[in-house]
Chain A
Amino acid sequence: MVLVLALGDLHIPHRAPDLPAKFKSMLVPGKIQHIICTGNLSIKEVHDYLKTLCPDLHITRGEYDEDTRYPETKTLTIGQFKLGLCHGHQVIPWGDLDSLAMLQRQLDVDILVTGHTHQFTAYKHEGGVVINPGSATGAYSSITYDVNPSFVLMDIDGLRVVVYVYELIDGEVKVDKIDFKKTASIHTAH
């Protein structure tokens, strides 16, 4: 059983001062095994903060990131799942499922995590999942000003992944859960 925290588009300090306090209190070290971050942190301090939560940190580069060493895309394997990571500003139209599915096939991953739209979305697509964790700080995007802070926690266990969605709506943390099972046959068929 592995817990993977996925978040992105924090835009600290340009568009938001910090993570919401409620999120910060929930994110404690010791529970999470991996963090995947889609980018746009945007400064090193946020990177350091994420490191305190969990040392195993994977970041791709957003268009506002100071650190230019972050890769454009990244793949990693956790348990029996292959995860792909990309900020998403490169994929046009932004947030389009078909385009993202293309990237998913390109990277050959089961779970693709992208950002940039600042809207939480999760699609089950072709035996895989495409997830956008939204903006963890609720920063405005170039598309919309109406953004709820949100992030995603994935509980990967064997062939099963449970996606917990944490969204801050009117000062209250709302939690949602999405189950996803990967069938072995689909994996071998690929």
Chain B
Amino acid sequence: MPPALMNPLMPPPPPPSVSVSAPPELEGSDDVSGRSVTQKRRFGDLRGLQWRVDLGVLPSESSTSIDDLRRVTADCRRRYANLRRRLLVEPHIPKDGSNSPDLTMDNPLSQNPDSTWSRFFRNAELERMVDQDLSRLYPEHGNYFQTPGCQGILRRILLLWCLRHPECGYRQGMHELLAPLLYVLQVDVERLSEVRKLYEDIFTDKFDGLLYQENDLSYSFDFRKSQDLLEDEIGSHGNAKVKSLDELDPALQTIVLLSDAYGAEGELGIVLSEKFMEHDAYCMFDALMSGVRGSVAMADFFSSFPVAGSQTGLPPVIEASTALYHLLCLVDSSLYSHLLDLGVEPQYFSLRWLRVLFGREFSLDNLLIIWDEIFASDNSKVEKSVDDNIDWGLRILHSPRGAFIAAMAVAMLLHLRSSLLATENPTTCLQRLLNFPENINIKKLLEKAKSLQARALSVDISSPSPLIIGYHLQSKSVMTRSQTLPSETVSPKTPVNLLTDSYWEEKWRVAHEAEELKQDGIEQQIPTRKKGWTEKVKNTLRRAGSDPPPSRIKNGKKESKVVRRNILEALHKALGPEEEAEQMDCHEILCKQENISEAAEGVQQNDNSKGDNSYSSDDRCPSGNTGIEESSSVYSDSTSPPNEANYHEITSQGSSVASNLYLDECDETADTSLSDPPLPVSDHPESIPETSESTDVDVDKSENIPQMSGCNNNDPGNSATHPKEKKQNKFQWFWKFGRNTVEGISGKVGAASEPTKSTSSCSNQSNSQPPVSSTTSEHFTSVSSKGDSVDQNVMGTLKNIGQSMLDHIQVIESVFQQDRNQGVSVENLSKNILVGKGQVTAMAALKELRKISNILSEM
């Protein structure tokens, strides 16, 4: 029957659109797949809406009713409207109706930055800047983006966002993040009007009383439709037997619902509304920039300062670039190393890729597909049970979305793989990277990215950073390394560098192992630690042994470096004797270990702050603490009563050996040491560290070398005195510590001429009378004079030690600070991760040192 008879109020049926079949997504055949899609992505074909959900503007729970959506939408829009009222200044219109009382402040020429006019001028300035970019936005889509209306919307949104986030301000590229957001909203609205045209009746408000009560669905559109109405519509379309609105495609239903103006919010609540596109776009943009509650906040990518809590201390975008290379290294190491060889830093191209989320590399259509995927990935942080030690703070890899972004970039790199590998110089390489091919299979790329995303997420958790370390160590050129690692600035070409590379790696690995084994039990820790120590000390040996004299000369010249170097050497040295103890004879080991245990007791007695035994504290800070604690334990050991005599001997011996330079007292010891046949150094690996290191330490070379050679001579002859000798060495080491500080600060006395002196003293032992600085000699005489009253002496020494340790710690800390400051240069930003981490451990170690030294000085 003709519809007009049924309902005279009804508007004429839709234009004869029988031939115009419904759009493909509205047909029944797509229903099933459509449902399956909407299960995952509720508003699959309404991209703008889906993005709003994904970005966290609208609630993402699938149970959210349309009414909830409407309410949230209205809230967002209200917020934006308020913001707009508040921030967009119209100076010539008095705000509250009254004339501005203080004209002196509020006039156009006012110098007061808080005045309305100043704000107005600032806004105008910002607007000019924004306009400069907006006028060049997507020229290929100029018929939409270049229209005054669209430009106005974009300008207002950017302006408001920048005013709202003054710390960030406007940066070029933000407009390209915003434009697609507005575009998808526009597309949604266009789709709505298209559907509205097709199904005009459903959208027409009907209050004719012919209410049709739904059985299963009682949404607000109950009001509007009646069965006959729908039948009319079906009749006019003819093809599909749709009995009610519910049998329409769900996507279409959603559209109908979303354009509904009913409810508490009225027009403001229409989810798809052309009027409020600006509001919606702002909400989306804000959510994208701030990251809502996730870890990827686009605004960070525009800031040049590290975010709060960043462990790398790098600007986020650089950090993300590093993460990108990290991932690439895992996936394709050959391409990675090729890029490294060419010196192509990730930020050269990724800055552009990341800041606009690939907006410059792909056409708008493709970009929307990519963003679909990016936004579909969850932005929330993945909870990780990783220790601070291991967590390298590559924040971008902490959320699926960030991982996807990184994975996408790597997929793009892999897409260019062959052409990149073919490049021979960085320029062409970057040319290819920055001119991404237009015609690409976007689906393939996305699939690749997805698989990489999974990889990135899993990799980040399981094996965080050795790779990065490796990367940094490998990738470092000699120059940058010398910048980042202060101890190696001396002679980049000597084997020292190679060895210390492995040394740092080793140390790091040891720290790792210790960390893992910590839970397993102490008994397992000890072997690990020992092993680490062995290797460390081997490094020390090799390093010290292979350190050629020229480097020493350089060393002497570079006075500023010497202090750091000395400290390092001293630490190494402290580790050396421990190693020796393991390698020594049986009874010696026993004796030594006895000493250690006693020492541990002594340490525990003396310093109550350590809950664990000394081993575990060793494990906590493997870098230098061990050395100090070990030697400090020797000291506390020497304070214990049974060893008192021993200590006497040590003191006297130490002073005598030192004073064999001026040969006044304890002649017999010095005589024996001198009269013993000198053995080649290589015969006694134990003694090498002392000798060679002492040659390295140029400050007190003059008195140490004779003493060490005395050591050598004593070794074969009387093994009984050997441990004492070692202790004496440590004693020496401590004094050296103190003196180093003094002299290091006051400037080396004749540092340049030192090597020649030492060599002469080495070769010419019998008449070893090198000039000694008066301070040192005084030092030693004071020691020997103190030697009579043991207790006093011990206390005094301990205090001295504590003091000198404190001084040294300060020196090291200041050095670290310097390095940190140096490291800000742009080139090294990504590389500094390594140093940053190394510094963290070192600083931890220093803290421990500080504790100990405090205790010592208090005694």
Give A residues with C-beta under 8 Å from B.
Answer: 1, 3, 25-28, 30-31, 153, 155, 157, 160, 162, 164, 166, 173-177
Contact = CB atoms under 8 A, between A and B. Distances in A.
Contact of A3 (B103, B104, B108, B110): B108
A182 to B, nearest CB: 14
Given A31-B121, A155-B92, A164 B104 contact: no
Contact of B104 (A31, A155, A174): A174
A31 B92 contact: no
Nearest to A177: B103
Main secondary structure of the interface of A (DSSP, over half): strand
Nearest to A162: B92
A166 B109 contact: yes
B477 interface: no
B102 to A, nearest CB: 9
B103 A175 contact: yes
Given A1-B92, A157-B92, A26 B109 contact: yes
Nearest to A175: B103
A106 B232 CA distance: 73
B121 A164 contact: no
Contacts of B107: 153, 164, 166, 175, 177
Nearest to B120: A1
A108 B110 CA distance: 33
Contacts of A164: 103, 107-109
Closest 10 CB pairs of A and B: A26-B109, A175-B103, A175-B107, A164-B107, A175-B104, A157-B92, A3-B108, A177-B103, A155-B92, A153-B108
Contacts of B109: 26-28, 31, 153, 164, 166
A184 to B, nearest CB: 19
Interface string B95-118: 000010001100111110000000
Contacts of A153: 107-109
A30 B121 CA distance: 9
Interface string B219-257: 000000000000000000000000000000000000000
A53 to B, nearest CB: 11
A180 B766 CA distance: 107
B222 to A, nearest CB: 49
Nearest to B90: A1
A79 B108 CA distance: 18
Contacts of A177: 99, 103, 107
Contacts of A175: 103-104, 107
Contacts of B110: 26
Contact of B111 (A1, A25, A30, A176): A25
Given A1-B92, A177-B103, 16 more contacts: A25-B111, A26-B111, A28-B109, A30-B121, A30-B125, A31-B109, A31-B121, A153-B108, A153-B109, A155-B92, A160-B92, A164-B103, A164-B109, A173-B104, A174-B104, A177-B107
22 contacts: A1-B92, A3-B108, A25-B111, A26-B111, A30-B121, A30-B125, A31-B109, A31-B121, A153-B107, A153-B108, A153-B109, A160-B92, A164-B103, A164-B107, A164-B108, A166-B107, A166-B109, A173-B104, A174-B104, A175-B103, A175-B104, A175-B107
Interface in B51-103: 92, 99, 103
A87 B493 CA distance: 81
Interface of B: 92, 99, 103-104, 107-111, 121, 125
Contacts of A166: 107, 109
Contacts of A27: 109
B651 to A, nearest CB: 75
Given A3-B108, A155-B92, A166-B109, A176 B121 contact: no
A176 B107 CA distance: 9
Contacts of A3: 108
Nearest to A156: B92
B98 to A, nearest CB: 13
Output the residue of A157, A164, A176 with the most chain B CB within 10 A.
A164
Nearest to B117: A31
Contacts of B108: 3, 31, 153, 155, 164
Contacts of B125: 30
Contacts of B103: 164, 175-177
Nearest to B118: A31
A176 B106 CA distance: 11
A164 B115 CA distance: 15
B91 to A, nearest CB: 8
B112 to A, nearest CB: 11
A54 to B, nearest CB: 13
Nearest to B109: A26
B638 to A, nearest CB: 74
Nearest to A158: B92
A157 B111 CA distance: 22
B92 to A, nearest CB: 5
Nearest to B99: A177
A175 B101 CA distance: 11
Nearest to A166: B109
Nearest to B106: A175
A128 B121 CA distance: 29
Contacts of B99: 177
A104 to B, nearest CB: 24
A164 B121 CA distance: 17
Contacts of B121: 30-31
A136 to B, nearest CB: 13
A177 to B, nearest CB: 6
Nearest to A154: B108
A44 B103 CA distance: 33
Nearest to A27: B109
Nearest to A174: B104
A31 B125 CA distance: 10
A30 B99 CA distance: 26
B713 to A, nearest CB: 83
Output the residue of B104, B107, B110, B125 with the most chain A CB within 10 A.
B107
Contacts of B111: 25-26
A153 B107 CA distance: 9
Nearest to A1: B92
A164 B125 CA distance: 22
A140 to B, nearest CB: 25
Contacts of A1: 92
Contacts of A176: 103
Contacts of A157: 92
A79 to B, nearest CB: 12
A175 B104 CA distance: 5
B249 to A, nearest CB: 50
B601 to A, nearest CB: 76
Nearest to A161: B92
Contacts of B104: 173-175
A166 B110 CA distance: 11
Nearest to A28: B109
A170 to B, nearest CB: 14
B103 to A, nearest CB: 4
B131 to A, nearest CB: 15
A173 B108 CA distance: 13
A18 to B, nearest CB: 18
B116 to A, nearest CB: 12
B524 to A, nearest CB: 72
A176 B92 CA distance: 14
A24 B605 CA distance: 75
A178 to B, nearest CB: 11
Contacts of A26: 109-111
A164 B103 CA distance: 9
B181 to A, nearest CB: 30
A176 B99 CA distance: 12
A52 B108 CA distance: 18
Nearest to A164: B107
Contacts of A160: 92
A31 B107 CA distance: 12
A93 to B, nearest CB: 32
A171 to B, nearest CB: 13
Contacts of A173: 104
A85 to B, nearest CB: 20
